[in-house]
Amino acid sequence: MCGIVGYFGKKEAQPVLMEGLRRLEYRGYDSAGIATMEGDVIRITRSVGKVSELAALIKEGDQSNVGIAHTRWATHGKPTESNAHPHRSNDGKVAVVHNGIIENYKELKEMLQRSGATFVSETDTEVIAHLIRHELSSGINLVDATRTALVQLKGTYGIIVMSSEYPDYIVAARMGSPLILGVGDNEHYIASDASAILRYTRQMVYLDDGEIAVVGRGGFDIRTLGNKMVEKEIELIDAAEAEIQKMGYPHFMMKEMMEQPDVLLNSTRGRLDVENGMAILGGLRDVADRLRDIERVIIVGCGSAYYAGLVGEYMLEEYAGIPVEVELGSEFRYRKPIISKNTVVIAISQSGETADTLAAVREAKEKGALTLGIVNAVGSTIARETDAGVYNHAGPEIGVASTKAFVSQMTVLALFTLFLGRQRSMSLVTGQRIAKEILELPDKVKEILIQQDKIGDIGLRYKDVAHAYFLGRKYCNPIAMEGALKLKEISYIHAEGYAAGEMKHGPIALIEDGFPVIVLAPKDSVYDKSMSNLEEIRARGGRVIMVTTEGCEIDRNLVDDVIFIPKTLEMLTPILAVIPLQLLAYFVTIEKGLDPDMPRNLAKSVTVE
C-alpha cells in the first residue's frame, strides 16, 4: 500500500513531508520520493530503500512551502529510482504522487506517446503526469486539466498533483484509495491516512470517491469530477492518535482480525503468477540462484512466529521436498547448530526486533548460512540483518496477541513453498492449483469472520473454565498450539495445544466431566484419526468444540459446538483454521472483562532475552 503526503502552507514543506513519510513507513514500501515547488521550479528527489536514505539525499536550504511526497510499494515496475514517485511531465511542469492501480494505463500511454510524450518509467502513475500536462496544453487550468484527465482513467487512485504553472494551489483527488485533508491555520495537509498528519492537526476532511480537493493560499474547496462544489464537514479527531487507528473497533485485536482478508490480499499482491504456478518474490531475487542449491531449511521464531514456522515445515517438506527443522529462537542460540553454506535459516518475526530471533540470525550468519527474513515491520533490525527476505505487508499489528501477522506469516510461507517447489520438482499443475487457492483465501476468511456472533456465544459459555486443551494433527497441530497461546495470553485461562495423537500418551489423564477440548478436525488426510479423538474425550465426559470443514456430517452426540470453515487445500487449511480460535480467545477475554489489547505481563515486541 503506497503512502501519500502533501502540504501547502506557511511552514517549510520538506520537514512536514519527511515526517509524514516516516509515519507511513508501517504500510510497507520499497522506495520513496519528494517534490517541492519554489516559484516556477519543481525539485524532485527520489530513492530506492528507506525514507532515511531519501532524507540523506535531500539538499539543505529548501525554503519551499509547497510539496508532495510518497512511499511506493511496487505494483507496476521494479523498485528503482526511475519508478519511484513523484512522476513528472517531460517539461517538469507537472508532478504527481499516486496510490492505486490504473487499469487502462497502457492505451493511455500509447496515445500520449503518439502525442509526443516520452516515458522514463515502467509505472502506470507516470501516465497521469503526462495526461494532465496534455490536458493543460489546451489552455485550461490545473483543476480542470486534472478533472478531464481523471475521467479518462479506469482503476483506483488517490493522487496529489502540482504544477509550476499554477503555484498558488495543489490538487488532490480520490477514487478507491483513501485520501484525507488536514485543515490547519492557513495551512493544509493531505495524506493517505490520518497518522501521517495527526501531529499537526486534528481537523480532518475525508474525501469520498469522485471528489477533488483544491488546496491553496486562500484555503481549500472540494468539488466533484463534474466540477460541482461539495460542502464537506470538518471532523475533529479528538481521540488520542492510537485510538484513531482503531477505526471504530472496540479493540485493536478485533480490528486486526477483521483486516485479515485485506492482509491476505496485501501479502500476496503482485506475488502470484497463477498461469505459471509461480510465486514472484522480489525480495529473494538476489538469492534465487543460491536457493536452488539449498539442501536444508531451518526456521527460527518465537511464540506465534514459531508456530507459523511449524506450519511451514509441513508445507516445505510436502511440496518442496526439502528437510526442514523449526527452532525456538531462545533455544537455537544456545545449541551448536550444524550449519553449512547450503543451509538457509528463515527468521520469522512480526516486529523484526525479537532479541531471541535476532540472536539466532546472527549465529546463523556467523556459521555461513544464508539468512532470510519473513518480517512485518519494514526496516526493522531482523529485516536489515538478514541477507534477503519477504515483507508481510500486514500493516502495523498493535494488539499484543498476534492475529493478522500470524495469518500473513503462514501465507508468505505458502508463497515461499511455491517459490522453492517450482525451483524443484513441483509440477506446473500443482503450482497453479496452490496459487489459485491462495487467491481464494481472502473470501474464505470472510466466511469465517461473519460467524463472530456464533463464536461469541460459544465464548460466553466457556469463559469460566480453568483449563482447556487444543488438539490438531499434521497441518493443524501448530494451530492447536497457536490457539492455546491465544487463549492463555489474553484470557489467562490455562490452555495447552497438543498433537491429537499424543492424547493417549498422557494428556488424556486430565479429561474429566466438563473438561473443554477444542478439536481441529478439518476434512483432510487425517480426518478419520481426529474423529477417534472425539470418542476418547466424550467417553470421559469432556466438552468438545470442533472446528471442521463445511459440509462435513457431524455426529452431534460427539460434540457440544461445531464451527465450520470453508474447504481449501490441506496445506492452506491452517490459515483458515486459526481464525475461529482467534475469535474464541477474544470473546472469552472480553466476557471476562479483560482487555485483549493489553494483556498483563506481556509486551508487543520482546526485545530483551
For residue 50, indicate whether it is catalytic.
Answer: no
| Shortest distance in whole angstroms from residue 544 CB to ligand AGP | 25
Which amino acid would we find at residue 228? K
- Decide if 220 contacts 45 (C-beta within 8 A): no
Is 121 a binding residue for ligand AGP by CB under 6 A? The answer is: no
Is 355 a binding residue for ligand AGP by CB under 6 A? The answer is: no
Nearest residue (beta carbon) to ligand AGP: 303
Catalytic residue among 2, 109, 255, 404: 2
Q: Name the residue nearer to ligand AGP (CB basis): 350 or 491.
A: 350
For residue 109, indicate whether it is catalytic.
Answer: no
- Decide if 442 contacts 264 (C-beta within 8 A): yes
| Shortest distance in whole angstroms from residue 82 CB to ligand AGP | 34
Signed CA dihedral, 338, 340, 344, 348: sign only: positive
Is 430 a binding residue for ligand AGP by CB under 6 A? The answer is: no
Is 343 a binding residue for ligand AGP by CB under 6 A? The answer is: no
**What radius of gyration, in Å, describes the C-alpha atoms of the chain?**
26
In this chain, which of 354, 530, 533, 573 binds ligand AGP, going by CB under 6 A?
354
Identify residues 479-508 at the interface with ligand AGP (CB under 6 A): 485, 489
Q: Distance from CA of residue 260 to its chain's centroid?
A: 8
Q: Name the residue nearer to ligand AGP (CB basis): 121 or 350.
A: 350
Question: Which is it for strands 87-88 and 66-72: parallel, antiparallel or unpaired?
Answer: unpaired
Nearest one of 256, 261, 236, 237 to 246, comparing CA atoms: 256
Per CB under 6 A, the segment of 42-50, 269-277, 346-354, 585-593 that binds ligand AGP is 346-354
| Shortest distance in whole angstroms from residue 33 CB to ligand AGP | 29
Catalytic residue among 50, 93, 488, 604: 604
CA distance 300 to 439: 27
CA distance 256 to 397: 7
Is 510 a binding residue for ligand AGP by CB under 6 A? The answer is: no
| Shortest distance in whole angstroms from residue 362 CB to ligand AGP | 15
Is 267 a binding residue for ligand AGP by CB under 6 A? The answer is: no
Is 350 a binding residue for ligand AGP by CB under 6 A? The answer is: yes
Is 401 a binding residue for ligand AGP by CB under 6 A? The answer is: yes
Beta bridge partner(s), residue 341: none
Q: Name the residue nearer to ligand AGP (CB basis): 422 or 486.
A: 486
Q: Name the residue nearer to ligand AGP (CB basis): 401 or 455.
A: 401
Which amino acid would we find at residue 609? E
Which amino acid would we find at residue 390? V
CA dihedral 142, 144, 145, 148 (to 10 degrees): 160
Q: Residue 556: helix, strand or coil by DSSP?
A: coil
C-alpha cell at 414: 505458502
Is 351 a binding residue for ligand AGP by CB under 6 A? The answer is: yes
Binding residues for ligand AGP, total number by CB under 6 A? 16
**Is the peptide bond between 86 and the residue preceding it cis, with omega within 30 degrees of 0?**
yes
DSSP string across 91-143: TS-EEEEEES-BTTHHHHHHHHHHTT----SS-SHHHHHHHHHHHHTTT--HH
Q: Name the residue nearer to ligand AGP (CB basis): 489 or 561.
A: 489
In this chain, which of 94, 170, 305, 487 binds ligand AGP, going by CB under 6 A?
305
Q: Residue 517: helix, strand or coil by DSSP?
A: strand
Q: Which residues are catalytic?
A: 2, 604
| Binding region for ligand AGP (CB under 6 A) | 302-305, 349-351, 354, 357, 400-402, 485, 489, 605-606
